[in-house]
Chain A
Amino acid sequence: MTRFIIRRLAAVIPVLFLVAVFAFFLVHLTPGDPAAYMLGPLATPAQIHHLQEVLKLDVPLPIQFERWLLDALRGDLGESLFMSIPVPLAIWQRAEPTLLLTLMAVAVEILVGVTAGVVAATRRNTWVDQAAIAFTALGLSIPSFWFGLNLIFFFGVYLRWLPVAGYVPLSVSWIGAVKSLLMPACALGLISSALVARMTRSSMLEVLSQDFVRTARAKGVAERRVTWHHALRNALLPVITVIGNSFAILLGGLVVTEQVFAIPGVGLLVINAVLHRDYPVIQGVLLYIVMLYVFINVGIDIIYALVDPRIKFG
């Protein structure tokens, strides 16, 4: 098992290295001189020269990359050009709502997706099943930000149940924090739950037709227990992989969802950085999000190996 984990972690290194290369060269994709592009047409030559020095653009490219990578490995991702604070600090200050939102969205995704998938599979070819199929087709087609706007309109403006926008920090009130993130978590989670529901349904259908399910029924196990205990446990394996992959949608969707609900998280940080051409922040957020995504998936692979004894650790 330890060897499996080490091998899985080692496989991450080339991926992260290439993403770092990409993040570094991103700045050099700008048309013309990056410093001049960032400062805009009104900048003086002195300002441009100063920024070139700050960004260490005045040495050959390979040396720039070497220095940048060594700094990044030490956790030094430079300073935000717009806010004048170190990039890791800027991300850390906004991590709380983003992490909490991700957690809540995954909870919504699993709860709704698995339940819908199981219910659809056990009532195959009934109207319940058809409704679940329609739900997943619709879920994959609704833009999460438009869904979020509709939630705001209905629950925030019309019913006045939940705050329309903004975020209450955990240190102030944890109920307030959860309440302010409930709508955005649903906007993100319900949409990605469509994929989970699809996979759960087809996986459940396969498992329900197997011999051990018939055996369980034959020896008199209650149908509810057969479904949720015997069948679901075996059907969940492929679903775990889908949940891992769905983090790509969740983490990408964060940016637009935080913008819609005005949540001061990492997503809002990156979109402000894009609008201000604050490249160190864009690079930093990119690296942090990718690391989060990659390590979540390593974790999921390990869970997968723990849950399914058929997977060899060798």
Chain B
Amino acid sequence: MSATGRAVAIEAGAAPALRGVRRRGPWQLFRRSRLGVTGALLLALVAGAALAAPVIAPRDPGTLNPAIRLQPPGAAYWFGTDDFGRDLFSRVVYGGRLSLEVGTLVVLCTGTAGILAGITAGYFRAADAVIMRMVDALLAIPPALLAIALMAVLGARASNVVIALTVAFVPQLTRVVRSQVLVLRETMFAEAARSAGASDWRVAFLHVLPNAWSVVLIQSTVTFADAVLTEAGLSYLGVGEPPDVPSWGNILSDGRNYMIQAPWMTLFPGIAIVVCVLGLNLLGDGLRDVLDPRFRQW
């Protein structure tokens, strides 16, 4: 209590500008990053629409109605209708649900696997050689090609998309976490914990990992954005979700044959992807500005 009282007393006398500098937490810094806030807003728009899909979608995304085939956008059908007379707005909104679900699961799986592998590699010399050789090999395969090859053997299903994308994106995170661990394990506080008798695992997870968190967070926004992009590409190619599922890639792939009669079929799902991925990328840039002083430039 007395410490808080003293801080307030000093602050009351300090110049307002100085107070601003001293009291600025990550949230205040983030709010000042225009890019980051824009990204968070774009993402909130997509996520809000996706979460509220059952409420805001005027029709069922799968109901066929040949009587209203290829209706242009208007008051009744905001984004128009597709070649089967399905409401495109409902389909795009439900597609957002799917993309964000896949992206979230990929980030969680990549995060778990990447953190475990990265810490193990950074901490244990013997494991390092094995893990990093595997990471090098996986990094030599272009991620999109790796995901396509895995989908070929696993079969087109949403759960398999998550597996394929996790395998494709885990090497990047592993490498990032490992390089952080290699730096952090030599710091004074890790040394102090070690000399107090903490085990390697305890130092790794309770002392090193919390300090690598910001880097994991930044890399995760990149993974999320790449996952949404690649997922759309996979289902566009017909190797992602089954064709009847309203994913953004599937809607685009349906619209490809009607580009001249019904350009809205490719326009709206494409814009949805761009808004979602741009939101994630800008959010990542904003977080990087706040959390990683080395990248203050861009």
State the A residues within 8 Å of B (CB). 14-16, 18-19, 22, 26-27, 29-31, 133, 137-138, 140-146, 149-150, 152-153, 157, 198, 201-202, 205, 247-249, 251-253, 255-256, 259-260, 270-271, 273-275, 277, 279, 282, 285-286, 289-290, 293-294
Interface residues in B140-157 by Cβ distance below 8 A to A read 140-146, 148-155
> Lowest 7 CB-CB distances: which A-B pairs, in order?
A252-B144, A252-B142, A18-B137, A141-B278, A146-B270, A141-B277, A274-B152
Residue of A at shortest CB range from B280? A141
- A252 and B143 within 8 A (CB): yes
Q: Which residues of B contact A252 (CB under 8 A)?
A: 142-146
In the complex, which residue of chain B has the Cβ closest to the Cβ of A31? B155
Known contacts A26-B153, A142-B274, A248-B143; is-contact A255 B298 (Cβ 8 Å): no
Question: How long is the Cα–Cα vector from A27 to B148 in the complex, in angstroms?
Answer: 13
A202 to B151 alpha-carbon distance, docked (Å) = 38
A260 contact set on B, CB distance < 8 A: 256
Interface residue count on the B side (C-beta < 8 Å): 47
CB distance from A34 to the nearest CB of B (A): 8
- State whether the Cβ of B184 lies closer than 8 Å to any Cβ in chain A: no
What residues make up the interface of B, taking CB atoms closer than 8 Å to A? 35, 133-134, 136-146, 148-155, 225, 229, 232-233, 236-239, 252, 256, 259-260, 263, 266, 270, 273-274, 277-278, 280-282, 285, 297-298
Q: Which residue of B lies closest to A289 (CB)?
A: B145
Q: Are the CB atoms of A255 and B274 closer together than 8 Å?
A: no
Q: How far is the CB of A217 from chain B (nearest CB, A)?
A: 22
Q: Would you call A270 and B148 a contact (CB within 8 A)?
A: yes
Once bound together, how far apart are the Cα atoms of A143 and B236, in whole Å?
A: 11
Name B266's closest neighbour in chain A (CB-CB): A149
Q: Roughly how many angstroms separate A26 CA and B142 CA in the complex, as a whole number? A: 16
* Contact present for B144 and A256 (CB under 8 Å): yes
Contacts of B274 in A (CB 8 A): 138, 141-143, 146
Minimum distance in angstroms from A291 CB to a CB of chain B: 9
**Contact among A15, A150, A202, A282 with B297 in the assembled complex (CB-CB below 8 Å):** A202
- Shortest distance in angstroms between A35's beta carbon and chain B's nearest beta carbon? 13
Q: Give A153 to B155 CA distance when docked, in angstroms.
A: 32
Chain A contacts for B136, CB-based, 8 A: 14-15, 18
Known: A18-B134, A259-B237. 14 other contacts (CB 8 A): A15-B140, A137-B282, A141-B280, A145-B252, A153-B266, A249-B144, A252-B142, A255-B145, A255-B237, A256-B233, A271-B238, A274-B148, A282-B152, A286-B145
A149 contacts B259, CB within 8 Å?
A: yes
Using Cβ atoms and an 8 Å threshold, which residues of chain A touch B152?
Answer: 26, 273-274, 277, 279, 282
CB distance from B224 to the nearest CB of A (A): 12
| A271 to B234 CA separation, bound complex (whole angstroms) | 10
User: What residue in chain A is nearest B285 (Cβ atoms)?
Assistant: A137
Quick one: closest B residue to A18, CB to CB? B137
- Docked Cα-Cα span, A247 to B233, in Å, equals 18
In the assembled complex, 21 residue pairs joining A and B whose CB atoms fall closer than 8 Å, in A order, are A22-B137, A137-B278, A141-B278, A142-B277, A145-B233, A146-B266, A149-B266, A153-B263, A157-B260, A198-B298, A249-B142, A252-B145, A255-B145, A256-B237, A259-B237, A273-B152, A274-B152, A277-B152, A279-B152, A282-B149, A285-B145
